Amino acid sequence: MIRHKVLFVCTGNICRSPTAEGVARGLAMQHGLEHLFEFDSAGTHGYHVGDPPDPRTVAAALRRGYDLAPLRARRVTEFDFARFDFVLAMDREHLELLQRACPQSHQNKLGLFLEFGERFDEDEVPDPYYGGAQGFEHVLDLIEDAATGLILKLGAP
The CATH number given to whatever domain includes residue 72 is 3.40.50.2300
β-strands 37-43, 110-112: how paired?
A: unpaired
Q: Is 63 a catalytic residue?
A: no
Residue 119 pLDDT greater than 80, yes or no:
yes
| 25 noted as active-site residue | no
Averaged pLDDT for residues 147-152: 96
Q: Which of 51, 85, 123, 127 is catalytic?
A: 127
Domain boundaries, position 100:
4-155
Q: Which of 10, 74, 91, 102 is catalytic?
A: 10
Q: Which of 15, 16, 91, 102 is catalytic?
A: 16
Q: What is the average pLDDT across 125-152? A: 96
- Quote the DSSP letter at residue 52: P
pTM of the model: 0.97
How many independent structural domains does the chain possess?
1
The pLDDT mean for the chain works out to 96
- Alpha-carbon distances, residue 110 vs 14, 18, 60 (angstroms): 20, 18, 28
The confidence score (pLDDT) of residue 55 equals 97
What is the average per-residue pLDDT within 129-151? 95
Max Cα separation, the chain?
41
How far is it, in rounded angstroms, from Cα 33 to Cα 30?
8
Arithmetic mean of pLDDT, 81-90: 98
pLDDT number for residue 1: 74
Pairwise CA distance, residues 153 & 157, whole Å: 9
- The yes-or-no answer on residue 74 being catalytic is no
